[in-house]
Structure 1
Amino acid sequence: MLPEIGRIVTPDGVVNGTIIVEDDRFEGVIERDGKPSGWVLPGFVDAHCHGGGGHSLATGDADAARAAAAFHASRGTTTLCASLVSSTHEFLLEATRALRPVVEDGTLAGVHFEGPYLSKSKCGAHDTEVLRDPDTAELAELIDAGGGAVKMVTIAPELPGAIEAIEFLDAKGIVASIGHTDAGYEQTMAGIDAGAQSATHLFNAMRRFDHREPGPIPALLDDERIFSEIIADPAHLHPGTMRFAFDVSLPGWTLLVSDAMEAAGLSDGTYRLGRHEIAVKGGLATVAGTDTIAGSTITLLDAVRNAVNLAGQSVEAASQMASATPAELLKLNDVGAIESGKFADAVVLDDDLNLVSVMRRGVWLKV
């Protein structure tokens, strides 16, 4: 499963050698002389995912969540958050309660609410009928229902009540992420000052940059308090835009996300995301009958390859953006790096970044 001598990406740099595993944890790395072949990366950490392999994370169904997590793990994503799309408060409460045990047993790393506190003009594939202003009482109920499962909430900072909601989430240790927003520069900065820590799929579903009305993008890119999600998929971002974001934000503040929906890994056809029917053609997912992009069909492995092959990043930088940086944002101390004491999660690739094998918690998975 492991190359005899692989290029192992560690927090201290690339080491030519092999990993040592004891039970479900890394015990260390042994350096070896000789010519290395292939790569050994820490397992990927996806903070923003709606499903994959024909299974949805957005429905709040525990069995579907386990199946989606298994699919992504087989592609190298050994740590996964379930992203729920905008819906009624009652549905989100029910979904959170259903997913709580899947988080508690370690199958999922947490729950991310991508909405319903989003701008109607930048709603993307979210149903405008359920969008509403942020409500701390609603958030308190959702957090209580999750019992520690809730990790992140996407909020448009220009909405009434948004600043109070961001402050509330920050006080609870939950990531408030700025996204699906028509905010101006100053409104975005107010959200950051209130405690927002990340940007939900930077560039996508945001007011565009203008040199006189810069909007949210430069505020989010420039502030070291913000981690920026990037969907490294040419359907979402031109490779030049990816390269620009990586070079400005840097790997320590940039996390690759899949934003995958249930069609990831499957052929073209008709699927669902939240309340919408989704048409997938040529790997591009759109709300049926429109040109509105509805998530992606990539995995984080695809995102890593795209970061390297399309946007000119090193394998080490892409690895950091797919593992260590999202783990830091979500405060997941046991994953994200090949380091003694952390969970033995690893992705083995050949020299051309083709998948060879995946280890999760010290066990080799079928890929």
Structure 2
Amino acid sequence: MEGGRIADVVPIADREDLPWLAPGLVDLQVNGFAGIDFNALPPETRSIGSAVRMLLRQGVTTFLPTVITNSDEAIEQLLASIASACAEDELVRACVAGIHLEGPFLSPADGSRGAHDRKHIRAPDWESFRRWQRAADGRILILTMSPEWENSARFISRCVSEGVIVSIGHTAATPGQIREAAAAGASMSTHLGNGAQLQLPRHPNYIWEQLAADELTACVIPDGFHLPDSVLKVFLRAKAGRIAFVSDAVSLSGLAPGAYRTPVGGDVVLTPEGRLHLASDPQLLAGSAQMLIDGIAGVVGRGLCTLAEAWELGSAAPAAAAGLTGVGRIEPGSAADLVRFRRLPDPRISDGGEARLTIEEVYKAGKLVFRREDELDQKTMAPSGSS
């Protein structure tokens, strides 16, 4: 590694007992982590730096903090806070590749809108979006919207012309509207298969239409709860080469099971198994409480992907979908964002299959930012009664 980048990759003959080395994970949808909520008001700029440092311990070296549906003023405040954190903190600036704005131009239909507050959902408005982009200091990289609104195609083309990636999500759009959106420049699907009504026509419907659209990269949540394994398996086949993993992690990720109240989703329940749902309707999920590395370990453990395939879906694939160059790959010239880890037997799996991935070191731009041994040493040396 030289100057924060990979200078060379040299093969070695003896690989026995060596740990795995992989590119840093690239997560395009992170709502929060470990009690820090990117949608909490009033926004705390310093907390974003804390979240970045904790996410690095999870192997996430590049990510998009996600701001979801809220009032115009709240969205502006939250975006400005993230922009301020990037301006003030070099590490935040290096890790935050942009902002994902999920809403408020979504479907108002129950099921499709998921946990988004219906009172703030509305039709696309260019002046509002431009105001938010100014507040974000131009950092809005992905906009999730539903193309079911009138004049959506024109709005999408304007966003794309200014370098914003439009992703279809939380939609009740007709197949024709999906095709029009793709023709106008929409290039992604946000957590495909979720943010949808519980019952749909068998065909046509907006999930099949997005699967069939070669222009759209399908982002999916591999946590084992958002999509049944059979559905994820079909998605992986149908969208081979145009599919990527995202966590959709919320602030409750990394916290103990229980009942919680969140700023946007309201009352939610985190089960011991790690499933997060609305307290008012257990059938409706409220984001994910698992990190990207957990999803990768899960799909590998359940035989849906090889480790190399799954990791690429959490690194190179999302980087490509978001147009991020120089990250997500181990090759000369790429950023030296690296994760060193081992595969260990997971005690939760009865047959002892290797599914648990234990991170040992994380590098950002060639600098060591986390070492598991150091963390264990700190815990060992902690005074009695402390955690």
TM-score normalized with structure 1 length: 0.89
CA contact (8 A) 1:230 1:257 kept: yes
Matched letter for residue 62 of structure 2: T
Structure 2 residue aligned with 1:109, among 56, 77, 97? 97
CA RMSD of aligned residues (A): 1.7
Partner of 1:99: 82
Query: 329-338 vs 97-106, which deviates more?
Result: 97-106
Name which of 141, 146, 156 aligns with 2:146. 156
The answer as to whether partners of 2:115 and 2:265 remain within 8 angstroms in 1 is no
Question: What CA deviation, in whole Å up to 9, does each residue of 1:195-248 have, x standing for no partner?
Answer: 11100000001356644x321222212222111111001211111111111111
Three-state SS of the structure 2 residue aligned to 1:169 is: helix
Q: Which of residues 22, 33, 37 is equivalent to 1:41?
A: 22
Aligned to 1:75: 58
Confirm whether residue 277 of structure 1 aligns to residue 263 of structure 2: no
Note the C-alpha offset of 1:355.
2.3
For residues 252-291 of structure 1, what are the structure 2 equivalents within 5 Å? 252-269=241-258, 270-274=260-264, 276-282=266-272, 283-291=274-282
Q: Alpha-carbon deviations, 1:163-222, whole Å to 9, x = none?
A: 2221111111111100001112111111111111100000001356644x3212222122
CA distance in 1, matches of 2:299, 2:318: 16
Residue equivalent to 2:383: none
Amino acid across the alignment from 2:361:
S
* Superimposed CA distance per residue, residues 119-162 of structure 1 (whole angstroms, 9 cap, x where no aligned partner): 11111111111111111111111122222311111111112232
2:380 matched to which residue of 1? Answer: none
Amino acid at match of 2:275: L
Aligned residue in 2 for 1:346 = 338
User: Which residue of structure 1 lines up, in the alignment, with residue 351 of structure 2?
Assistant: none
Gaps of 5+ in 1: 1-20
The answer for the alignment partner of 1:10 in structure 2 is none
Q: How does 1:1-367 map to 2 (within 5 A)?
A: 21-36=1-16, 37-59=18-40, 60-104=43-87, 105-121=93-109, 122-206=112-196, 210-211=201-202, 213-250=203-240, 252-269=241-258, 270-274=260-264, 276-282=266-272, 283-291=274-282, 292-351=284-343, 352=354, 353-364=357-368, 365-367=370-372
Note if contact 1:209-1:217 (Cα within 8 Å) is conserved in structure 2. no
Aligned partner of 1:120: which letter? P
Amino acid of the structure 1 residue aligned with 2:172: D
Contact 2:61 2:337 in 1 (8 A): yes
Q: Distance in 1 between matches of 2:247 and 2:102?
A: 14
SS of residue in 2 equivalent to 1:341: coil
d(CA) in 1 for partners of 2:328 and 2:64? 14
Match of 2:94, SS state, is coil
Cα deviation for residue 28 of structure 1 reads 1.5
Amino acid in structure 1 at the alignment position of 2:257: D
In our comparison, the structure showing a higher alpha carbon Rg is 2
- Farther-moved stretch of structure 1 (27-36 vs 125-134): 27-36
Q: Return the offset for 1:287.
A: 2.4
Counterparts of 2:261 and 2:337 in 1: how far apart (Å)? 31
CA distance in 2 between partners of 1:70 and 1:242 (Å): 31
- Percent identity, aligned pairs only, is 26
Deviation at 1:275, TM superposition (A): 5.3
Letter in 1 for 2:106: L
Which region of structure 1 is more displaced relative to structure 2, 68-77 or 216-225? Answer: 216-225
What amino acid sits opposite 2:307 in the alignment? V
| Residues in 1 aligned to 2:296 and 2:224: alpha-carbon distance in whole angstroms | 13
Give the letter for the 1:111 counterpart.
Answer: I
Residues 265, 286 of structure 2: 8 Å contact kept:
no
> How far apart, in 2, do the equivalents of 1:164 and 1:303 lie?
36
Which of 74-83 and 350-359 deviates more? 350-359
**Tell me, which stretches of 5 or more residues in structure 2 are unaligned?**
88-92, 344-353, 373-387
Q: Secondary structure at the match of 2:297?
A: helix
How far apart are residue 350 of structure 1 and its match?
Answer: 1.5
Distance 1:240 1:273 in 2: 33
Summarize deviations over 1:307-341 as a string: whole Å, max 9, x none: 22225212221122111111112222131111222
Q: CA, structure 1 residues 290+175, in 2 after alignment: closer, same or farther (shift >3 Å)?
A: same
Residues of 2 paired with 1:117 and 1:33: CA distance?
54
Contact 1:133 1:161 in 2 (8 A): no
